[in-house]
Amino acid sequence: MKRLSILGSTGSIGRNVLRVVDQFPERFSVVALAAGRNVGLLAEQVMRFSPEVAVVLDEDLSRQLKERLKPSTRVEILQGLDGYKAAAALGSADLVVSAMVGSAGLLPTMAAIEAGKPVALANKESLVMAGELVMDTARKKGVSIIPVDSEHSAIFQSLSGHRWKDLREILLTASGGPFLDKPIQDLDEITPEMALSHPTWEMGPKITIDSATLMNKGLEVIEAKWLFSVSQELIKVVIHPESVIHSMVVYRDGSVIAQLGLPDMRVPIAYALSYPERLPLGLPVPDFVGMGSLTFREPDLEKFPCLALALEACRIEKTMPAVLSAANEVAVDAFLNHRIGLRRIGEVVEQVMSKHKPISNPELSDILSAAAWARHTAEESI
């Protein structure tokens, strides 16, 4: 029985993690559930999975959660950053699922690693903002980090059993989002409601918008660089609208190893939870005959400048990726609240990055300060 602490339990990834837990109750139990503001769903999860600890954002939400739970429910309710870190470092947890959205996941993920807990990582911002620090700490603590993102899970699987020195290239696939074939001049007309309709994946709103701008793919390049200890030059983004090939690894003899499957997050989640085993999920395989063809193309960096900005931040390193990520969070939130248009997201991020003076060899405090500055500067720009 593997005991899980799930950070971000009410989000898209967290809900799918619990679907896997529900399917395999003899293999997994839940000792901690951490959410943000969705008290109603968290209360349902607490009553269904009986964790030791539940965490919400603040004191008011903590009070609301207590009111929603049955008097007989035995759970310790915590709140805020200290609560998230406590859930991440919980002594009874065998594995921490880091699925909080955005930069809020960095410190809890670090707390899990510092406590010597293996991490199933879905919070890409942890590696985007502080990849070197996170991976160095994991190595020192002897902690394994198993990727949950479908692309990084595919790379992880495609690297398994092969010699690292034979690696030639990583091909990171991207669906291209809902506006792949939309003329660039029409992007100004895009509403949040239109952008939230992803063609192949079901994701939370922030990640869905990042997919529409291709920022998500840029963040994944940065994540892959640190997760797999490779240079940026070895990572290439390939647009693959069908989302059947989740990523590929090219070896020096010209062989290409790929991981394929229908776009269902339960596959990489279950693999991360049960690694190195594979669970009988009962999911269908792609109908290759009916599908007919799989297509690929180069990303259009003029149409999707967010990807270009992320690649530039990856090249600069230092504190620039943290600034990129934080500015993007603010800009995406502004778009979702109808304050700016879709194309303004990239403009805001570019303006913030142009004003930043990157700090070399940053400590965690430098990274957090840079991110706070970026959020403030992005708001001013908006």
Helices 320-336/205-213 angle, 10° precision? 110
Q: Average pLDDT, whole number, for the chain?
A: 95
The model's pLDDT over 112-167, given as tens digits with 9 standing for 90+, comes to 999 999 999 999 999 999 999 999 999 999 999 999 999 999 999 999 999 999 99
Residues 93 and 179 in one domain: no
Q: Supply the CATH number for residue 124's domain.
A: 3.40.50.720
Overall domain count for the chain:
3
Q: Above pLDDT 70, what percent of the chain?
A: 98
> Any residues with CB less than 8 A from the CB of 227 and at least 6 apart, and which?
121, 127, 131, 135, 145, 147, 152
Residue 345: CATH number of its domain: 1.10.1740.10
338 pLDDT higher than 90: yes
In a domain, 272, yes or no: no
Q: In this predicted structure, what is the pLDDT of residue 199?
A: 60
Res 66 pLDDT > 90: yes
Domain boundary among the residues 82, 112, 147 is at 147
Q: Give 204's pLDDT tier (boundaries 50, 70, 90).
A: confident
**Are both 223 and 351 inside the same structural domain?**
no
Place 200 in a pLDDT band, splitting at 50, 70 and 90: low
Higher pLDDT, 182 or 351: 351
pLDDT band per the 50, 70, 90 thresholds, residue 172: very high
pLDDT at 25: 97
pTM of the full structure: 0.93
Tell me the pLDDT tens digit for each residue of 347-370. Answer: 999 999 999 999 999 999 999 999
* One domain for residues 293 and 355: no
Look-up of token digits 């840079």 = 370
3-state secondary structure string across the chain = CEEEEEECCCCHHHHHHHHHHHHCCCCEEEEEEECCCCHHHHHHHHHHHCCCEEEECCHHHHHHHHHHCCCCCCCEEEEHHHHHHHHHCCCCCCEEEECCCHHHHHHHHHHHHHCCCCEEECCCHHHHHHHHHHHHHHHHHCCCEEECCHHHHHHHHHHCCCCHHHEEEEEEEECCCCCCCCCHHHHHHCCHHHHCCCCCCCCCHHHHHHHHHCHHHHHHHHHHHHHCCCCHHHEEEEECCCCCEEEEEEECCCCEEEEECCCCCHHHHHHHHHCCCCCCCCCCCCCHHHHCCCCCECCCCCCCHHHHHHHHHHHHCCCHHHHHHHHHHHHHHHHHCCCCCHHHHHHHHHHHHHHCCCCCCCCHHHHHHHHHHHHHHHHHHC
Residue type, 260: L
280: in domain: no
Tell whether 303 and 194 lie within a shared domain.
yes
Do both 34 and 100 map to the same domain?
Answer: yes
Q: Are 24 and 80 in a shared domain?
A: yes
Residue 325 covered by a domain: yes
Question: 87, 112, 147 — which closes off a domain?
Answer: 147
**Domain residue limits at 76:** 2-147
What pLDDT shows up at residue 253? 97
Same domain, yes or no: 12 and 138: yes
What percent of the chain has a predicted confidence (pLDDT) above 90?
90
Residue where a domain terminates, one of 147, 164, 194? 147
Residues 305 and 333 in one domain: no
Residues 134 and 14 in one domain: yes
Tens digit of pLDDT for each residue in 212-240?
A: 999 999 999 999 999 999 999 999 999 99
